[in-house]
Structure 1
Amino acid sequence: MTRLTEHLIVVSFDCLSSLDYPFLKELPHFSRLLEEGALCRNVRTIYPSVTYPCHTSIVTGNYPKRHGIINNTLIQPGRPSPDWYWHRSHIRGTTLYDEAKSAGLTTAALLWPVTAKANIDYNLPEIFANRPWHHQIMVSLMNGTPLYQLDLQRRFGSIRNGLEQPALDDFVLESAVHTIRTKKPGLALIHFTDLDTMRHYHGFSSKEAIGALHRHDDRLGRIMHALDESRCKYTLVALGDHSALDEDTAIQLNVCFKEKGWITCDGKGKVIDWKVYAKGCDGSSYVYVRDERLMDGVHQLLKALKKEGGIEDIFTGYEAGLMGADGSAAFMLEAGRGYYFKDFTEGDFLHRITPQDVRERTYTWGSHGYSPSKDRYGTIFMAMGKGIRKTEIHAMNLVDEGPTLARLLGLDLGDTDGVCRHELLDTANIEQEDGTG
């Protein structure tokens, strides 16, 4: 299969929403992208629409039940901070970066989710120290490309302030620009989370979120400038993974499960055993049941809780699987607008969020994870450069992005849930760059 581009740079602006389009088109660098390239302002995300499953769907073209990244974090009741699906080994099947590497392309990834220990030439994985004895730099070095990361740390490490934003994205930006200029990757995957953080802790339309969009436009401009300076034939893709909704109330199912005796805690409130457990995905929640004899009782309780408000829909595990989520769960619940799920076992079933809760970062003012069927909940896809047609399409799916990106590089992800959106691509005057045609 012929390649349509020599260099594909994919920039993910976490939590970029379709609703941001009117604002983006007024910003100088996003407006250039929109004017010169292809656009879909109505991209249907996946279920659950949280970051790690979304980004894995982008690079595999598959839904979570198929690629295996069904949530951000693992099911680890009793852990104050569960581990995330950080490692490539969690993904079932191939990925865009695997196929690019196999084809001999130079690959780079900067804080792209689920890339720890991946076979990527220049890899700064998204992984954080999750044990008291861990050190952030050492954790990153052990799971990515050590010499590359040490060089980035030496050059730009002073910019960082742990995981705090916007400093983290500023560090990623400088690292990305340096990588584009010096490594000239055939595929680069870059993940920015500034906007997502601001929407979590300040709200969807907050001044902090607007500030993050301005900063993202500056970051996009820096990347564009680096690519233009390189004088290479490149394709630049900017996309979102999900939208977000404001909330003021947390639904805490495990409080009710504990009252029913289905969750056992020690004297300090730590879960030591469970028969039924709710594993939240923010706007949605899985419910896992270990004892089949409890299934009917759990279902009846969930229906009773739904009447108290907050829970919009109750799906069986089979129905969740049909929507692309984890079909091994007994149930999956969808939160209504203004609500989201937390896994806590203490407190009230419905917890009204306070400013102090958010300052302490135990709760948030905005979340995602909701069903892609929610109204006005889409994300966005923009592309310009080699192999891209100047056009706008009405709608596409997040899982279509992987096959489309693969086609740009002359790669094949195999049998995927998504399809290549050929109408976005300019296949005229194809250059036979790999000689295999």
Structure 2
Amino acid sequence: MNRLTDHLIIISFDCLSSSDFPIIETLPHFQTILQNGALVRNVESIYPSVTYPCHATIVTGNFPNRHGVINNTHLQPGRSSPDWHWFRDSIQGTTLYDEAKKANMTTAALLWPVTGRAKIDYNMPEIFANRPWQNQILVSLLSGSPRYQWELHKKFGHIRNGLSQPELDDFVLESTVHTIKTKKPNLLLVHFTDLDTQRHFHGFSSIEATDAILRHNFRLGRIIEALQECSIYEKSTIVVLGDHSALDETKAINPNVLLRKQKLIKTNNKGKIVNWHAYCKSCDGSAYIYVKNDHDEESINKVANLVNSLLQDPNSGIEKVLTGAEASEKGADGNCAFMLEAKKGYYFLEDYLGEYCKTITENDVTSDKKFTLATHGYSPEKENYHTILMASGKGILPGTHPSIRLVDEGPTFARLLGLSLGNTDGRIIEELLAL
């Protein structure tokens, strides 16, 4: 298979929405991509539309129930901060970076989700110290490329302020520019989360979100400039994409409160979970309900009655209920008993003590980071909920296209590099490519 580009640079601006296009099209560095490249105004995300499943889909071309990353975090009932799907072994099957490595291409990834311990030449995975005894720098070093990361830390670590934004993305940017200039990778994956963070804590259309888009324009310009400075710009393809959109919300709902009342979650006198028969696992705008034992008919029936009553209640915040089989048909985890979809304005948390529904204020968000003012994870069928893709450079056919799916991106990126991801859920979007 012929190769269409020498260097594929994939830039993920987390939570970049098709609704952002009126701003994007006015910004100079985004204009550089748009004027000479391809634009897809509406990219349909996956279910659940949260960051880790989305990024696993982008590099595999498969839905979550096939690549295995069915949520951001693992099912760990009662743990206040569950572990994330940080590591490559969460992904079933091959990936874009695996195939590039097999073809002796140089690969690099910066804060790309689900790349911990992946076979990537220059890897700074997205992972954080999730336990009090862990050290952030050490956790990262041990999960990626130690020498490479240590070099970046020495050069640019002063820019960071823990995991706070926009400093984290500023650190990632300088690391990306340095990597382009010194490593000239054939495949570079970079993930920026500034916009997603601002939308969570300030709202979808907030001034803070707009400011993050402006910062992303600057970051894109620096990356373009780096490619030009090391004389690989003409041989490169730049892809700018989002993974999901977001929707404003004001109410958090906690089905686990009701499951506990039904004695499907059992706690001790300190309020800690000691056993569970059913548990609601949040995906933010949607949620899985798992029953621990598939043969526990009593618990299954209790859960079924509960979710049906919620669906009938106009104030429950539940828009739709899917069975496990129906969830699987949408590409989500078929091992759940049910999947719940929240109405606009609502999202799910996993609290099992306190109230079922809580109205969220800005003070709540300031005092406790589990609360947000905008979120994602909703069904990709939600109205005005698409993300976006832009691409320019070698191998790209300029033009505007109405829509594709997130699962189509991986096979298309593989084709640019003359690679194949095999039999995928997505297809190669040949209309984007100068074949």
TM-score range, shorter chain: over 0.9
Quote the residue 2:201 is aligned against.
201
Structure-to-structure mapping, 1:170-249, within 5 angstroms? 170-232=170-232, 233-249=235-251
The separation in 1 between residues aligned to 2:78 and 2:258, in whole angstroms, is 16
* Counterpart amino acid of residue 408 in structure 1: L
In the TM superposition, what is the alpha-carbon distance from 1:298 to its structure 2 partner?
1.1
Quote the residue 1:351 is aligned against.
358
Quote the residue 1:69 is aligned against.
69
The separation in 1 between residues aligned to 2:282 and 2:32, in whole angstroms, is 39
- The SS at the match of 2:164 is coil
The separation in 1 between residues aligned to 2:358 and 2:14, in whole angstroms, is 27
Q: Deviation digits for residues 19-61 of structure 1, max 9, x if unmatched?
A: 0011100011011111110010100000000000000000000
* Counterpart amino acid of residue 16 in structure 2: L
Quote the residue 1:166 is aligned against.
166
Structure-to-structure mapping, 1:270-349, within 5 angstroms? 270-290=272-292, 291-306=296-311, 307=313, 308-349=315-356
- The SS at the match of 1:395 is strand
Quote the residue 1:371 is aligned against.
379
Structure-to-structure mapping, 1:24-43, within 5 angstroms? 24-43=24-43
Of residues 297-306 and 127-136 in structure 1, the stretch that sits farther from structure 2 once superposed is: 297-306
* Counterpart amino acid of residue 55 in structure 2: H
* Counterpart amino acid of residue 387 in structure 1: G
In the TM superposition, what is the alpha-carbon distance from 1:340 to its structure 2 partner?
0.2
- The SS at the match of 1:288 is strand
Q: Kindly report the root-mean-square deviation, in angstroms, between the aligned alpha carbons of the 2 structures.
A: 0.7
Quote the residue 1:5 is aligned against.
5
The separation in 2 between residues aligned to 1:50 and 1:263, in whole angstroms, is 26
Which segments of 5 or more consecutive residues in structure 1 lack a partner in the other structure? 428-437
- The SS at the match of 2:402 is coil
Quote the residue 1:264 is aligned against.
266
The separation in 1 between residues aligned to 2:389 and 2:347, in whole angstroms, is 26
Quote the residue 1:56 is aligned against.
56
The separation in 1 between residues aligned to 2:176 and 2:268, in whole angstroms, is 46
Quote the residue 2:431 is aligned against.
423
Quote the residue 2:23 is aligned against.
23
Q: Does 1:381 align with 2:389?
A: yes
User: Number of matched residues?
Assistant: 427
- The SS at the match of 1:31 is helix
In the TM superposition, what is the alpha-carbon distance from 1:296 to its structure 2 partner?
2.2
* Counterpart amino acid of residue 293 in structure 1: E
* Counterpart amino acid of residue 402 in structure 1: G
The separation in 1 between residues aligned to 2:230 and 2:410, in whole angstroms, is 25
CA contact (8 A) 2:264 2:299 kept: no
In the TM superposition, what is the alpha-carbon distance from 1:346 to its structure 2 partner?
1.4
* Counterpart amino acid of residue 425 in structure 2: D
- The SS at the match of 1:393 is strand
Structure-to-structure mapping, 1:147-158, within 5 angstroms? 147-158=147-158
* Counterpart amino acid of residue 374 in structure 2: G
Q: Deviation digits for residues 310-349 of structure 1, max 9, x if unmatched?
A: 1000000000000000000000000000000000111211
Q: Deviation digits for residues 228-278 of structure 1, max 9, x if unmatched?
A: 222220000000000000000001000000111110112222222100100
Which segments of 5 or more consecutive residues in structure 2 lack a partner in the other structure? none
The separation in 2 between residues aligned to 1:46 and 1:169, in whole angstroms, is 25
Q: Deviation digits for residues 276-299 of structure 1, max 9, x if unmatched?
A: 100000000000012233222211
* Counterpart amino acid of residue 315 in structure 1: L
In the TM superposition, what is the alpha-carbon distance from 1:78 to its structure 2 partner?
1.8
* Counterpart amino acid of residue 320 in structure 1: A
The separation in 2 between residues aligned to 1:335 and 1:367, in whole angstroms, is 11
In the TM superposition, what is the alpha-carbon distance from 1:353 to its structure 2 partner?
1.0
- The one of 390, 415, 421 aligned to 2:398: 390
Quote the residue 2:92 is aligned against.
92
Identity %: 60
Quote the residue 1:431 is aligned against.
none
The separation in 2 between residues aligned to 1:350 and 1:303, in whole angstroms, is 17
* Counterpart amino acid of residue 314 in structure 1: V
Structure-to-structure mapping, 1:135-150, within 5 angstroms? 135-150=135-150
The separation in 1 between residues aligned to 2:278 and 2:110, in whole angstroms, is 37
The separation in 2 between residues aligned to 1:63 and 1:129, in whole angstroms, is 28
Quote the residue 2:415 is aligned against.
407
The separation in 1 between residues aligned to 2:71 and 2:332, in whole angstroms, is 9
CA contact (8 A) 2:96 2:421 kept: yes
CA contact (8 A) 2:47 2:330 kept: yes
In the TM superposition, what is the alpha-carbon distance from 1:215 to its structure 2 partner?
0.2
- The SS at the match of 1:34 is helix
- The SS at the match of 1:142 is helix
- The SS at the match of 1:278 is strand
